């Protein structure tokens, strides 16, 4: 004699658990992916700005510079502010901009005039 058991409740429970597990994984991985993309953009923007600062500092090391502040709107999607200050034998160039997290970020390089 074969006894058949009703499996409808088991399949429903198995489906609910798998759907809950799927959404838990999605809701965990999507914010992590977003943060990774945001950090990648910040790092890329920083690389572009530092290259720009390096090139501008090389130009100012050749010619004499007066302390100045210049705002560039064509480097990133946000304005980039370049500031030159001079000390006794060094030129300090600093760039400031708002990164993808809307935080003010500043980086500086030093050069010795020729």
Q: What's this model's pTM, rounded to 2 decimal places?
A: 0.75
**Model confidence pLDDT, tens digit, residues 18-57:** 999 999 998 999 999 999 999 999 999 999 999 999 998 8
Choose between 12 and 21: higher pLDDT. 21
pLDDT band at 9 (very low <50, low <70, confident <90, very high): low
Query: Residue 95 and residue 83: Cα distance in Å, rounded?
Result: 6
Three-state DSSP state, 85: strand
**Model confidence pLDDT, tens digit, residues 82-104:** 998 888 788 889 999 999 999 99
């Amino acid at each position: 004699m074969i006894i058949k058991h009703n499996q409808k409740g088991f399949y429903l429970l198995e489906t609910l658990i798998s759907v809950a597990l799927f959404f838990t994984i999605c809701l965990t991985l999507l914010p992590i992916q977003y943060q990774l993309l945001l950090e990648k953009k910040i790092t890329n923007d920083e690389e572009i700005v530092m290259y720009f600062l390096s090139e501008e500092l090389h130009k100012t090391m050749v010619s004499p510079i007066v302390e100045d502040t210049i705002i560039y709107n064509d480097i990133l999607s946000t304005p980039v502010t370049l500031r030159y200050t001079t000390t006794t034998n060094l030129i300090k160039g600093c760039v400031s901009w708002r990164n993808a997290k809307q935080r003010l970020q500043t980086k500086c390089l030093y050069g010795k005039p020729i």
